[in-house]
Amino acid sequence: MINQPNQAIDLGRGLWYLDTVFDQDTFASIKKQYRETATEWELAYPNRLSSKYRNRESYPLLWEVAENIRLDIVNFVSYDVQPISQEIFIDLPGHKLSWHYDNDNFKVLLQVYMGEKEIKNGGTQWYTGDLNDSLYEQYGANNIVPIDGLEKVETVFRPNAGYVNDNTKKKAHGTNSVAQGTVRESILFLFG
């Protein structure tokens, strides 16, 4: 259902960029479901809205998609996973995700960029180099990590593009500030 590892761009350290994640019908159905469902939002970070409910009853299509792509995710990471949650994010102008490492609440994440158009410099930026282990040991999860001087790669923000991140291979990452007049929409499929 999603691009396979040999069709993805391997960015290193368990990170793959997918230029196209879903077929157009699946992508349109996902977007329609979360936009037309009476979604309740909570403020996750400054200028970031997060879907309040992440259960099967709230978004049955997202759970169905997660179950259908589970084996595709296994093909990327080479170990078994199960879907554990889906989250919808709406990043408003001014939102910036500071550079950090994720916690261990999940093993693999598939983030699918939604919206209508490409956002220049709007994707997630990553450091996939050799200093990750020592930086993670020093800063741990969810703390701001200094990244000055480190080479970064970006998973380009285009509708229906995204990435698979093997979170067992820790990588520092963050985002640029969302520009005025721009909204950054995405869905995170979490696997454990």
Residue pLDDT, tens place only, 98-129:
999 999 999 999 999 999 999 999 999 999 99
Q: What is the pLDDT of residues 35-63, one digit of tens each?
A: 887 678 898 888 998 888 766 777 888 99
The CATH number given to whatever domain includes residue 42 is 2.60.120.620
- The confidence score (pLDDT) of residue 1 equals 65
Whether 152 has a pLDDT exceeding 80, the answer reads yes
Give 154's Cβ-side CA count (13 Å radius): 11
Check residue 55 and give its pLDDT. Answer: 67
Q: What values do phi and psi take at 123, rounded to 5? A: -85, 180
Q: How many domains does the chain have?
A: 1
pLDDT of residue 145: 96
Residue-range definition of the domain harbouring residue 97: 5-191
Do the Cβ atoms of 164 and 86 come closer than 8 Å? no
pLDDT score of 134 = 96
pLDDT band at residue 2 under the 50/70/90 scheme: confident
Residue 142 pLDDT: 84
Report the share of the chain in percent with pLDDT over 70: 95
Average pLDDT, the chain: 92
